[in-house]
Amino acid sequence: MHQILLYLLRCSKALVPEEEIANMLQWEELEWQKYAEECKGMIVTNPGTKPSSVRIDQLDREQFNPDVITFPIIVHFGIRPAQLSYAGDPQYQKLWKSYVKLRHLLANSPKVKQTDKQKLAQREEALQKIRQKNTMRREVTVELSSQGFWKTGIRSDVCQHAMMLPVLTHHIRYHQCLMHLDKLIGYTFQDRCLLQLAMTHPSHHLNFGMNPDHARNSLSNCGIRQPKYGDRKVHHMHMRKKGINTLINIMSRLGQDDPTPSRINHNERLEFLGDAVVEFLTSVHLYYLFPSLEEGGLATYRTAIVQNQHLAMLAKKLELDRFMLYAHGPDLCRESDLRHAMANCFEALIGAVYLEGSLEEAKQLFGRLLFNDPVFISIHLIFLSYTSLQKILYQLDLREVWLNYPLHPLQLQEPNTDRQLIETSPVLQKLTEFEDAIGVIFTHVRLLARAFTLRTVGFNHLTLGHNQRMEFLGDSIMQLVATEYLFIHFPDHHEGHLTVSLY
């Protein structure tokens, strides 16, 4: 570290010393060009001015008055922010939209009138005039006197890398915080990026850990003049876009043969998967816990469990609002919007646990959150009254019932198998042909018989009911299977595209 400080001290000298300026102005052109090239790309600073530091792109020594010694001029080629240039001007945007619309109409018109061509030319000319205004141009040439500027010994590449330090620091700190989330959910993610993705709201963008405008200004003033990172289209390729043409383009793409990771960097896809997992788990448990409840009652109970208000409460138990990554703007200022985002984040977390772990891991997590988890109870146990302790013990009993649900009534009657009934039942004998056709042999063949029993048949001792409840369960199973397939094999589809494909 001391070597770096010594280097900075050695380099800290005036860009153009006042005692040597007269001599420097007398240099030969070749000697001056050599010095200017050495300074090109260097960061110089003038404390107390705004901006205090700037990158030298050119150093000129023009003397307009031979009787007055003038300090050389620092030339800096900057870029005006888009909001202050023609790209952010409302008049330009309105004119550009009308120009694009007219150009599209003329391109698809079988016969173009001369007046329409003139209108298009006039709008193009008006756009060009706005672009050429000095107050609207993005590229700006700044000229500063070199008087008072000091060398730093630092060049633009160092500044470019230094601006990544806040991002790196934020990344390390955030993943340290996620270790606490691992303890809360009782599961440790091996793929840490998957957990971060589950916590990333669609509004989130990297902001360098500070005001984005400050970061952009620093990069413009001190960073590399024209950095090249490859094709810029890559940054926008996987962002959500509107329009019927985009929808048709995405929906016409074929799925990948092998499971393919997605480059969409927010949690909407995981939320889509997690929603199906939560609905499946809820349907299965309700189906077994309430064997005499009809389909309508099961659907009512399921709606109460999977609705956003309830999922937001479960997310609050995990303190997901402290781990969510989202933009600080007007979108999530209202409590209702934030709770909705927390519910979506919870579904994304369940989807991530299911994706990396298993359905059993997702089931255990969901069950612990529905009813008080011993992990949370042990933290607050010493502060609880006797009445509160009774309620918690009751909650623990409910959790055990939820996680260890009983078998189906047909399975309880014959715990091992009921295939011995095939010999005496013509209905079950016919179903053996169906088993051969689908390649699945049922341990409890009466379950298969119930799946074919319509409501109009009425109650009978063979199936103990009709197939409406099984339809309720099968709907959730089919939705989960289809959702997982779409999620894995269509990596470019956003949540809306996946929903359209599903239904």
**Mean pLDDT, rounded, for 278-303:** 93
Q: Are 294 and 470 in contact (CB under 8 A)?
A: no
What are the residues facing 150 on neighbouring strands?
14, 45
> Which burial class, exposed, middle or buried, applies to 368 when counting CB atoms under 10 A from its CB (0-12, 13-18, 19+)?
buried
Which numeric CATH code is attached to 2-78+139-162? Answer: 2.170.260
Q: Is 104 helix (H, G, I), strand (E, B) or coil?
A: helix
Q: Model confidence at 134, in pLDDT bands (50, 70, 90)?
A: low
> Which burial class, exposed, middle or buried, applies to 485 when counting CB atoms under 10 A from its CB (0-12, 13-18, 19+)?
middle
Q: Is 77 helix (H, G, I), strand (E, B) or coil?
A: strand
Which DSSP string corresponds to 287-334? Answer: HHH-TT--HHHHHHHHHHHHSHHHHHHHHHHTTGGGT-B---SGGG-S
- What's the CA gap between 98 and 100, in Å, rounded? 6
**Mean pLDDT, rounded, for 96-103:** 88
Q: Is 446 helix (H, G, I), strand (E, B) or coil?
A: helix
Geometric angle at alpha carbon 160, from 158 and 163, rounded to 5°: 105
- What's the CA gap between 224 and 210, in Å, rounded? 20
Q: Give 142-156 pLDDT, tens digit per residue.
A: 888 888 899 998 888
Count of CA atoms in the C-beta half-sphere (13 A) of 391: 8
Task: Identify residue 336 by its one-letter amino acid code.
Answer: S
Q: Give 432-467 pLDDT, tens digit per residue.
A: 999 999 999 999 999 999 999 998 888 888 889 899
- What's the CA gap between 331 and 312, in Å, rounded? 17
Both tokens of 346, joined, read 């919870």
What are the residues facing 151 on neighbouring strands?
44
**Mean pLDDT, rounded, for 478-502:** 92
pLDDT at 398 over 80: no
Q: Give 302-353 pLDDT, tens digit per residue.
A: 999 999 999 999 999 999 999 999 887 666 777 888 899 999 999 999 999 9
Which of 282, 344, 280, 269 is CA-nearest to residue 312?
344
Q: Model confidence at 251, in pLDDT bands (50, 70, 90)?
A: confident
Geometric angle at alpha carbon 279, from 278 and 281, rounded to 5°: 65
> Which burial class, exposed, middle or buried, applies to 443 when counting CB atoms under 10 A from its CB (0-12, 13-18, 19+)?
exposed
- What's the CA gap between 102 and 132, in Å, rounded? 22
- Most confident range (mean pLDDT) of 117-121, 220-224, 398-402, 471-475 is 471-475
- What's the CA gap between 92 and 115, in Å, rounded? 22
pLDDT at 384 over 50: no
Q: Are 14 and 149 in contact (CB under 8 A)?
A: yes
Task: Identify residue 419 by its one-letter amino acid code.
Answer: R
- Most confident range (mean pLDDT) of 87-91, 210-214, 234-238, 484-488 is 484-488
pTM of the model: 0.73
Give me the active site residues, please. 275, 347
Residue 22's alpha-carbon distances to 64, 68, 239, 317, in angstroms, are 15, 10, 57, 73
Q: Which helix (H) or strand (E) holds 195?
A: helix 192-198
Neighbours of 430 (CB within 10 A): 12
Residue 356's alpha-carbon distances to 181, 215, 346, in angstroms, are 16, 36, 16
Q: Model confidence at 105, in pLDDT bands (50, 70, 90)?
A: confident
Which of 54, 47, 11 is CA-nearest to residue 159?
54
At residue 209, the pLDDT reads 59
pLDDT at 253 over 70: yes
- What's the CA gap between 251 and 242, in Å, rounded? 13
Bridge-based pairing of strands 73-79 and 58-60 is antiparallel
